[in-house]
Amino acid sequence: MLHHGPSRTWPAATPALGPILPDPILPGRVLVIEDSRAQRMMLCTLLRRWGHQVVDCDNALAALDVAMDPTITLILSDWMMPGLTGPEFCRRLRALRREAYAYVILLTSRSEDGDLTEGLAAGADDFLTKPVRAPELRARMNAGARIVAMQREMVDKNRRLSDALDQIRALYTTLDRDLDEARRLQQAQLQDRFRRFPGADVSLWLKPSGPIGGDMVGWFPVHDRMIGVFGLDVAGHGVASAMIAARVAGMLSAATPDQNIALTRGPDGSFLPLSPDLAAARLNRMILREMGGERYFTLCLGFLDLATGQMRMVQAGHPHPMLLRKGGDIDLLGTGGLPIGLVEDASYTTLNLQLAPGDRLVIHSDGLTECPGADGTTLDEPGLAALLARYADLTGPDLLAALDRDLSDFAGTPALPDDASAVVIDYRG
C-alpha cells in the first residue's frame, strides 16, 4: 500500500524534534519503506520537517516500482519486513536499470558483523540502528545527500564530456573528409603523371607525409617545341603548406597561360618563357607581398627546348637536380640559391645545360635525400644517386615506383616523415 502527501497524525510519545535547520544539500525525493505505521509516520514527519520531499511505502515489493522514479535519490528501508527483506530489496533494486543512483540506508536492530556484510553485499550504502535517533538520522541523510549530489555532478560532467567528445569526433570526421577532398584536388593538380612530348618524356611523383602536403611538381607547355617544368617544397606540413603549394602551382599552370608568372607575350602575341632567374625574382616579390615573409618555399624551375635539348633552369633553395648521363655519370646541378618568399630583393642565377639523347634529369625535394633510415642515418645525395643508377634502365614511371618502394623500405614505414616529390625528364632528342 502506497501513501503520499503530508497528512499524518504525530504520536504523543514521539521524542522532541529539536530546532528546524535547513539542510545544506537536499536530494530530489526520499522513499521510506517501513511496515510499522508508527515508525513510518515518525520518519516521514522528521524528513519533511528537514525539508525533504517524502514518499512512503509499507512493503518492499511494492516499493520496487516506486523506486524506479529517477527523482528518488535517498531510500530509508527497514531490514525485517514481510514478503521482502531490506537486503533482498537492495539486491533487486541494484539489478534494475535506474536512470540515477539511489542511496540506500537500512534500518536495523542487528549489529553483528555478518549482518552488516550481508547488507553491504546486497547493495546497501549505510546502516542506522533502531531505535532511530533524530540527530544521527539527519547526519546520515546529509551524508547520503552529499554523495548523491557528487555522483550526479560526476554523471553530469561525464555526460558533458561525452557530448564534447562526440562533437570532437564529428569535427574530426568533417576534417578528415575535407582533408581527403583536398588530397584528391592536390593529386588532380598533377595533370598527367606521365606525358610524352616530341623528344622527351616527363614523369611526376608526389607523396605527402600526411593527407596533404606542401610539395608540388608539374609541367606546362610554352609553345610547340618548349615546355616548362617545376618542383617546389613549401616549408612546413599540413593544410597551410598545401594551400601555398596549390597557389604557386596555379601561378605556373598550363590552364591559364596569361596568368602564368613564368611566361610573357612576344611581339607577335605568342607566349615566351621569362628568363628563369627573372621568373624566380618575380615570384619572390609576389609571395613576400602576399605572405609577408611568414612562409617560404624552395623551387626549381626550368624550360626545355624539346628539339635541341637546351635547358635553362633556376635553383631557388631546392636540392641540387641530378643529371644522369647516358654513359652512367651523374652530375649535381646548380649552386643552391635563396628560397622564394624569404629575402626581399633576392637575386637568382639561371643555369644553362645541354641534354643529350638518353640523358635523364631528376628534380627532387629534400624528402628523398633527407629521408631517415631505421638506423637513424639519412639517404643523402649519394644514396639517391645510387638508387637512380640502379634503376637507370627503367622508364620514368617505373623508376618513381621503385623509388617509392625503396624509400619506404629504407624508412621502415610506408608513411614518410616528410613530403617527397620528383620530376623525371627523359630526353630522347
Phi-psi region of 145 (alpha: psi -120 to 50; beta: other; left: phi over 0): alpha
Pair type for strands 72-78 and 29-33: parallel
Query: 1 pLDDT exceeds 50?
Result: no
pLDDT of residue 22: 43
Query: 366 pLDDT exceeds 90?
Result: yes
Q: How confident is the model at residue 12 (pLDDT cuts 50, 70, 90)?
A: very low
pLDDT of residue 178: 60
| Residue of higher predicted confidence among 116 and 393 | 393
pLDDT of residue 7: 37
| Residue of higher predicted confidence among 26 and 299 | 299
Q: How confident is the model at residue 191 (pLDDT cuts 50, 70, 90)?
A: low
Percent of all residues in the chain with a pLDDT value above 70, rounded to a whole number: 89
| Residue of higher predicted confidence among 365 and 240 | 365
pLDDT of residue 104: 94
Lowest mean pLDDT among 151-155, 172-176, 360-364: 172-176
| Residue of higher predicted confidence among 202 and 293 | 202
| Residue of higher predicted confidence among 184 and 289 | 289
pLDDT of residue 172: 72
Sign, CA torsion 55/56/59/60: positive
Mean pLDDT of 67-89: 91
Q: How confident is the model at residue 14 (pLDDT cuts 50, 70, 90)?
A: very low
Overall pTM > 0.85: no
pLDDT of residue 350: 97
Query: 114 pLDDT exceeds 80?
Result: no
The whole-chain average pLDDT of the chain stands at: 86
| Residue of higher predicted confidence among 371 and 14 | 371
In the 8-state DSSP scheme, what is residue 18?
A: -
Query: 424 pLDDT exceeds 60?
Result: yes
Distance CA 46, CA 43 (A): 5
Residue among 126, 259, 239, 263 at smallest CA distance from 183 = 239
Mean pLDDT of 320-335: 94
| Residue reference for cell 596569361 | 258
Q: Three-state SS for 29?
A: strand
| Residue of higher predicted confidence among 395 and 181 | 395
What are the residues whose beta carbons fall under 8 Å from the beta carbon of 151, sequence distance 6 or more? Answer: 100, 101
- The three cell numbers of residue 271 are 607566349
φ/ψ of 75, rounded to 5, equals -130, 125
pLDDT of residue 16: 42
Mean pLDDT of 42-57: 92
Query: 175 pLDDT exceeds 70?
Result: no
Q: How confident is the model at residue 83 (pLDDT cuts 50, 70, 90)?
A: confident
Pick 189-427's CATH classification: 3.40.50.460, 3.60.40.10, 3.40.50.2300, 3.90.600.10: 3.60.40.10
Residue among 193, 260, 213, 228 at smallest CA distance from 399 = 193
- The three cell numbers of residue 294 are 611568414
Query: 5 pLDDT exceeds 80?
Result: no
Percent of all residues in the chain with a pLDDT value above 90, rounded to a whole number: 54
Q: What class, spelled out in words, does domain 2-11+23-158 have in CATH? A: alpha beta
Query: 18 pLDDT exceeds 60?
Result: no
Distance CA 341, CA 292 (A): 8
Query: 11 pLDDT exceeds 80?
Result: no
Torsion, Cα of 205, 206, 209, 211 (10° steps): -140
Query: 274 pLDDT exceeds 50?
Result: yes
φ/ψ of 295, rounded to 5, equals -135, 145
Distance CA 46, CA 134 (A): 8
pLDDT of residue 15: 41
Domain ranges of the chain: 2-11+23-158, 189-427
What DSSP string runs through 319-361? Answer: PPPEEE-TTS-EEE-----PPBTSSTT----EEEEE--TT-EE
What per-residue string of b and e applies to 124-143 under the rule 16 or more CB within 10 Å gives b?
bbbbbeeebebeebbebbee
Query: 17 pLDDT exceeds 60?
Result: no
pLDDT of residue 176: 65
pLDDT of residue 260: 92
φ/ψ of 387, rounded to 5, equals -65, -40
8 Å CB contact between 191 and 219: yes
Q: How confident is the model at residue 13 (pLDDT cuts 50, 70, 90)?
A: very low
